[in-house]
Amino acid sequence: KAGVTQTPRYLIKTRGQQVTLSCSPISGHRSVSWYQQTPGQGLQFLFEYFSETQRNKGNFPGRFSGRQFSNSRSEMNVSTLELGDSALYLCASSVDGGGVRNTEAFFGQGTRLTVV
Amino acid sequence: DQQVKQNSPSLSVQEGRISILNCDYTNSMFDYFLWYKKYPAEGPTFLISISSIKDKNEDGRFTVFLNKSAKHLSLHIVPSQPGDSAVYFCAASETGGTSYGKLTFGQGTILTVHP
């Protein structure tokens, strides 16, 4: 069974640009969550999507957005990039995001974004 | 407000001995707890989990203990192996409600197992 796949693995962007990251969840998983990892803040929750709907959102500015497609694949977009957006972006998939029962979340390898 | 805390930034043990990683939480709504292992520049790998209705869960060399009254959990690795050297994250979640898909992570503990 294939795991969670994130593309691309590495990305270098310039301040002010926008970026789109992609995540393909484990087959059968309908919940996709996104996290940002930085040395100073650790792993921070960005948002969660289930059946193409955003159900939960963390404390990040509106420049961070996402969407989910009917096949559960998800994309996250960051507009007007700032130097502080340099981080490892991780996506995690689970069966239902803990909506009804306890469920493990499985992570992809991450996308390392560097903003210069 | 850090709701999940791993107070030991690092831990060093000898191969073959027990590694004990600790985690404390403050949010009484958390009812599901997970441990992940992580290498630099990679995604966390799920290790083991425990529901709040249990006080112990075992999977091979890994055992997680939960003390709800103390809001404390620990991960025991026996015996420790050099390949266990990594950063270990404790994470907590609420089932149901509106906290869909959200794991709250501790800051991590760097485990080094010496041959």
Q: What is the pLDDT of residues B32-76, one digit of tens each?
A: 999 999 998 789 999 999 999 999 999 999 999 999 999 999 999
Query: CB neighbours of B101 closer than 8 A, spacing ≥ 6?
Result: A31, A32, A33, A45, A48, A49, A50, A55, A56, A92, A94, A97, A98, A105
Q: Is the pLDDT of residue A104 over 90?
A: no
- Asked if pLDDT for residue A116 goes beyond 80, the answer is yes
The span from the CA of B12 to the CA of B85, in Å, is 9
Average pLDDT over residues A66-83: 97
Q: Which of B71, B89, B90 is nearest to B27 (CA)?
A: B71
Taking an 8 Å cut-off on Cβ atoms, the answer to whether B46 and A107 are in contact is yes
Per-residue tokens: A64: 């961070």
A95 touches chain B (CB under 8 A): no
Tell me, yes or no, if A112 comes closer than 8 A to chain B by beta carbon: yes
pLDDT per position as a tens digit, A21-53: 999 999 999 999 999 999 888 899 999 999 999
By the 8 A CB rule, do B90 and B105 touch? yes
pLDDT in tens, A79-103: 999 999 999 999 999 987 776 666 7
Residues of B with CB below 8 A from A55's CB? 98, 100-101
The pLDDT of residue B1: 72
The answer to whether B7 touches B74, Cβ cutoff 8 Å, is no
Q: What is the mean pLDDT of chain B?
A: 94
Residues in B 49-68 with any Cβ partner in A closer than 8 A: 49, 51
Residue B95 near residue A97 (C-beta atoms within 8 A): no
